[in-house]
Amino acid sequence: MVWCLLVASLLGVLIDDSYAGAAPGGGGNFQVVGDARNKLIPVALEGYTGEVASVLKFDLEVMGCKIVPLDDSAFVVKGKVDGSVVGALTDKAGNPGFNRRYSGGTLRDQAHALSNDIIQALTGTPGIASTRILFKMKTGQRSEEVYLSDYDGHGTVALTNDKTLVSAPRWSPDHSKVFYTTWLKRGGIENTTVIQQNMKTGEREVMARYRGLNTGGAMSPQGFLALILSRGGSPDVYVAPPGWKFMDDLNGQNLRRMCVTREEENGVTWSPDGQWLCFATRANGKRMLVKVAAQGGNMIRIPTNGVLNPSEPNWSPDGKSIAFTAAMGGFNVCVVPSQGGAATVVAAGEAPTWAPNSRNLIFTRRGVNKRQLAIVDVPTKQVKIVPAFAGSASQPAWGN
Amino acid sequence: MRGELYIKTLTCAALLGFVGMGCKSKDTAGLTSIPNFAGTGNNGGGGTNTTPGNNGNNTGLPGGNPGGNGTNTTGTNIGGTNNGNPNEPLSIPENFQEQRDVFERVHFDYDSSELRPGDRELVALVAQHLIQNPQHMLLVEGHCDERGTEEYNLSLGERRALTVAEELVRLGVAAERLGTQSLGEKVPLSEGSTKTARAQNRRGEFVLFMPMTGVVELPQN
């Protein structure tokens, strides 16, 4: 039962702080900030084995740490698992950070909570170890489904069972719904269809099924829904107003067309304040990222200096950066300031989406026979591969 | 003759019919079926046609919507004709069958949705068939190789299908008999990433829908 699992995971992990009231950093220096945060933080793990040890290592390395032997460490996490997870953070000199026992949830949940506390104590920013992701997975010759899992690929649950093709799952801003494109067969013919699915009830609604291409499905914080439709004769970007119902507007009278081109617009993504809509297009033969004001207007180029053929943009939750894929022979995950400028290649791969911390990106990497998910810590460029799923996995979307 | 019809007199009703999707999703708790809706088959009016954005004083990139005021209910059809309703997916009558192997495929250059000069003859043949068989309908599928990203390929495949459909309209086929469908890189014809495999995968396919040959039992005498 999917929804029961979700509820269980929301019950969360309880923390018993043995240093009641003690703020991190009491005697030692626990604030790894500024330039130091652009380097891997050397952390030693003492006393953990098995699943908890591997969860802590994965989490901390995702979030910019490097698990090292005690002698090489700057910080030490010492603890045990005696039915529940216990962890004490100190700096190398032994100055205490915290000492906590976790209860509730699974041991994995507790280990994720400890990882988050370590990152919070070391950097002053919340961790992302208890978040979830959406992605699509190939399940047959011509069948793909949308899946939900922990961010590290554990606890996979199918959200669809339609045995058809799907594309580009995305979260609504409040994470209560997901949008995806499916090749729905009706009237004797498959036609791409944008579906909204309620995460609590499983209820589904058709958000767009016009002639030709219907994809996109990116919702702004104000509730505007960006779509890519070819109903006007070529794939173009459209925006539906808040509360808009496809069923009540089968002619699309209330859709706002955001561009009119013969090009292959793709990858709609909103700025976190909902004021700008960014997507990939082509002008004068050159592929580029552009943005258009939410109320409509000119396409304004977002330069991605140093790389070519950008697509699949994703705007960071803090608004500062846009991640995208550059296609130059292979695929590279790149990051550019949201106003444009010099692009930085951060990993080999494609289809990046930001974690809530605006620091990690999850993306797709193509293997020999299979696509799989990977996570990069953008400032350090450290990549962790998410353990392989049964089928080829791609197009991840990071939730909360 | 190339392109000759091999119409099998099959009553393969299994190919057709309305396939409800969500009703199969028993093992996904809470998942509802995708609701039915009156989105096909009964709106012959055509969309309101409003001229797309005026780019006359556009200081931005070509193709923007500088006005941005009010809604823009573009109803430009394939090829810019005023026939058909661009809003509704193609709807295939229940007694029609799907034929995938009637016509050859067209192919595209890397990263391009331009029709190759060598494929124009084939598209003309398809147009001729549709004009001579006014009941028949056609879905043009656009496919890509795996060198683009997935989202880009989805739009590129649609652009390729639309280019073919535009040519059919230019040759006199009514737009309401044509549908387009992108499959991006999802359904390669040839697995592998050799140059030949990629070239085969960058393609447009013609899926013809035609009335089934009916058989009626008559009393024996």
- Strand residues in A260-359 grouped as ranges (E): 266-270, 276-283, 286-293, 300-302, 304-305, 310-315, 321-328, 330-337, 341-342, 344-348, 350-354
pLDDT tier for residue A124 given thresholds of 50, 70 and 90: very high
Please determine, for residue A14, whether its predicted confidence score (pLDDT) is greater than 70.
yes
Give one DSSP letter per residue of A134-153, joined into a string: EEEEEEETTEEEEEEEETTS
Q: What mean pLDDT, rounded, does chain A reach?
A: 93
Residue B30 confidence (pLDDT): 57
Residues A190, B186: C-beta atoms closer than 8 Å: no
How far is A398 from A39, CA to CA, in rounded Å?
24
How far is A55 from A134, CA to CA, in rounded Å?
20
- Tokens 């999850």 correspond to what residue? A362
What SS3 class is residue A336? strand
Residues B31, A204: C-beta atoms closer than 8 Å: yes
Residue A15 confidence (pLDDT): 78
Those of residues 195-234 in A touching chain B at CB distance below 8 A are: 195, 197, 200-206, 209-213, 215, 228, 230-234
User: What is the pTM for the complete model shown?
Assistant: 0.85
Q: Which of A144, A265, A299 is nearest residue B155 as measured by Cβ atoms?
A: A265
For residue B218, the distance in angstroms to the closest alpha carbon of chain A comes to 29
Q: Which positions of chain B have pLDDT values less than 70?
A: 1-32, 35-86
Residues B60, A264: C-beta atoms closer than 8 Å: no
Q: How many CB atoms are closer than 10 A to CB B171?
A: 16
pLDDT in tens, A361-372: 999 999 888 999
- Tokens 């950008």 correspond to what residue? A310
Q: Which of B63, B153, B77, B172 is nearest to B108 (CA)?
A: B153
Q: In what order do the strands lie in the sheet with A286-293?
A: A266-270, A276-283, A286-293, A300-302
Residue B86 confidence (pLDDT): 66
Residue B33 confidence (pLDDT): 74
Q: Which of B72, B68, B73 is nearest to A298 (CA)?
A: B68
State ipTM: 0.91
Half-sphere exposure of A290 (CA within 13 A, CB side): 31
Residue A17 confidence (pLDDT): 64
Which range is least confidently modeled, A14-23, A46-55, A167-176, A329-338? Answer: A14-23
Residue A368 confidence (pLDDT): 80
Q: Which residue of B has its CA nearest to A216?
A: B151
E strand or H helix at A117: helix A107-123
pLDDT in tens, A308-356: 999 999 999 999 999 999 999 899 999 999 999 999 999 999 999 999 9
Query: Are A187 and A207 contacting, i.e. CB atoms less than 8 angstroms apart?
Result: no
For residue A218, the distance in angstroms to the closest alpha carbon of chain B comes to 13
Residue A9 confidence (pLDDT): 45
Residue B48 confidence (pLDDT): 35
Q: Check if B39 contacts A (Cβ < 8 Å).
A: yes
Residues A292, B65: C-beta atoms closer than 8 Å: yes
Please determine, for residue A122, whether its predicted confidence score (pLDDT) is greater than 50.
yes
How far is A383 from A298, CA to CA, in rounded Å?
37
Q: Check if B104 contacts A (Cβ < 8 Å).
A: no
Query: Are A40 and A382 contacting, i.e. CB atoms less than 8 angstroms apart?
Result: yes
Residue B31 confidence (pLDDT): 65
pLDDT in tens, A267-299: 999 999 999 999 999 999 999 999 999 999 999
Residue type for position A197? Q
Backbone angles phi, psi at A327, to 5 degrees: -105, 105
Give the pLDDT mean for A230-238. Answer: 96
Residue A380 confidence (pLDDT): 97
